[in-house]
Amino acid sequence: MAVFHTQDISRKSFLVTGGAGFIGSHIVEYLLKNGADKVRVLDNLATGFNANVELFRSYPQYEFINGDIREFAVCKQACEGIDHVTHQAALGSVPRSVKDPVTSNEVNINGFVNVITAAKDAGVKTFVYASSSSVYGDEPNLPKREGLTGNLLSPYAVTKRTNELYAAVFHKLYGMKVIGLRYFNVFGPRQDPDGPYAAVIPLFIKGIKNGTPVYINGDGGQTRDFTFVENAVQANIKGMLAEGEAAFGETYNVAVGDNFSVNFLYNAIGELLGNAQPPLYREPRSGDIRNSLADISKAGTQLGYAPAYTFLEGLKVTVEYFKGK
For residue 288, is pLDDT > 90? Answer: no
For residue 93, is pLDDT > 90? Answer: no
The reported pLDDT for the residue numbered 94 is: 86
Q: What is the CA radius of gyration of the chain?
A: 19
Give every CB contact of residue 306 below 8 A, 6+ residues apart in sequence: 234, 300
Which listed residue (156, 166, 266, 309) is catalytic? 156
Summarize pLDDT for 116-157 with one digit per residue, the tens. 999 999 999 999 999 999 999 999 999 999 999 999 999 999
For residue 1, is pLDDT > 80? Answer: no
Reply yes or no on whether 174 is catalytic.
Answer: no
Cα gap 114→15, rounded to integer Å:
14
For residue 262, is pLDDT > 80? Answer: yes
Summarize pLDDT for 163-200 with one digit per residue, the tens. 999 999 999 999 999 999 999 999 999 999 987 778 89
The reported pLDDT for the residue numbered 241 is: 98
For residue 325, is pLDDT > 90? Answer: no
Summarize pLDDT for 64-84 with one digit per residue, the tens. 999 999 999 999 999 999 999
Residue-range domains of the chain with CATH: 13-184+229-255+294-308 (3.40.50.720)
Mean pLDDT of 17-30: 98
Q: What is the 3-state secondary structure (H, E, C) of the chain?
A: CCCCCCCCCCCCEEEEECCCCHHHHHHHHHHHHCCCCEEEEEECCCCCCHHHHHCCCCCCCEEEEECCCCCHHHHHHHHCCCCEEEECCCCCCHHHHHHCHHHHHHHHHHHHHHHHHHHHHHCCCEEEEEEEHHHHCCCCCCCECCCCCCCCCCHHHHHHHHHHHHHHHHHHHHCCCEEEEEECCEECCCCCCCCCCCCHHHHHHHHHHHCCCCEEECCCCCEECCEEHHHHHHHHHHHHCCCCHHHCCEEEEECCCCCEEHHHHHHHHHHHHCCCCCCEEECCCCCCCCECCECCHHHHHHHCCCCCCCHHHHHHHHHHHHHCC
Q: What is the pTM of this model?
A: 0.96
21 near 52, Cβ under 8 Å?
A: yes
Spatial CA neighbour of 61 closest among 85, 89, 41:
41
Amino acid sitting at position 254: V
Cα gap 192→170, rounded to integer Å:
33
Amino acid sitting at position 289: I
227 near 255, Cβ under 8 Å?
A: yes
Confidence class of residue 87 from pLDDT cuts 50, 70 and 90?
A: very high
Q: 119-123, 188-192, 214-218, 283-287: lowest mean pLDDT where?
A: 283-287
